[in-house]
C-alpha cells in the first residue's frame, strides 16, 4: 500500500527523471550535418529505484534518423524510431513508437514550405 510519503518520493523521482529527459532532448541537434550521436544515462531515486535511457541518431543533409529507449523504475519500457527526409522545400517524417504494455503506434506526414 502506498503511503503519503512514498507517493511524494515517487513524484519527486519522476520529476527528476522528466527533467533529465527534457535536458537531453533539448540538447539534441535538429540537424547534425553528417554526424552521429549517442547519449544515455540513468537516475536513481528514493528506495534505490533506477530509470535508464539511451538515445542515438544520425543526420546528413536534410535526412535524419533517431531512436531511443527509456526504462522506468517499475521496469516498463518505452521506445521510438523516427526518420525525417527533406528535399525541395518538403519534409516528410515517419515514426514508430512502443509504449507501456507493448502498445505500438505510428505517425507520418509531410510539410511543404512555400
Instruction: Tell me the per-residue pLDDT of 64-85, one tens digit each, with 9 for 90 and over.
Output: 999 999 998 888 899 999 999 9
The pLDDT, as a whole number, for residue 34 is 79
Alpha-carbon span 12 to 111, nearest angstrom = 38
- Are 72 and 83 within 8 A, CB to CB? no
- Strand order across the beta sheet in which 50-60 lies: 35-44, 50-60, 63-71, 77-87, 90-98, 104-112
In the chain, the percentage of residues whose pLDDT exceeds 90 is: 50
Residues in the chain: 114
Residue 63, pLDDT above cutoff 60: yes
pLDDT for position 84 = 94
108: burial class by Cβ within 10 Å (0-12, 13-18, 19+)?
A: exposed
| pLDDT (tens digit per residue) in 5-38 | 555 555 555 554 444 444 444 444 544 457 899 9
Q: Angle at the Cα of 59 (from 55 to 62), degrees rounded to 5?
A: 135
Listed by start position, the domains of the chain span 4-112
Amino acid at each position: 500500500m502506498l503511503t503519503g510519503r512514498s507517493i511524494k518520493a515517487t513524484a519527486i523521482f519522476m520529476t527528476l527523471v522528466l527533467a533529465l529527459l527534457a535536458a537531453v532532448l533539448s540538447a539534441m541537434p535538429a540537424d547534425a550535418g553528417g554526424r552521429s550521436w549517442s547519449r544515455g544515462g540513468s537516475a536513481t531515486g528514493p528506495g534505490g529505484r533506477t530509470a535508464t535511457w539511451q538515445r542515438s541518431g544520425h543526420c546528413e543533409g536534410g535526412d535524419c534518423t533517431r531512436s531511443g529507449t527509456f526504462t522506468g523504475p517499475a521496469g516498463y519500457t518505452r521506445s521510438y524510431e523516427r526518420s525525417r527526409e527533406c528535399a525541395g522545400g518538403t519534409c516528410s517524417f515517419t515514426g514508430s513508437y512502443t509504449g507501456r504494455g507493448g502498445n505500438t503506434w505510428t505517425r507520418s506526414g509531410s510539410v511543404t514550405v512555400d
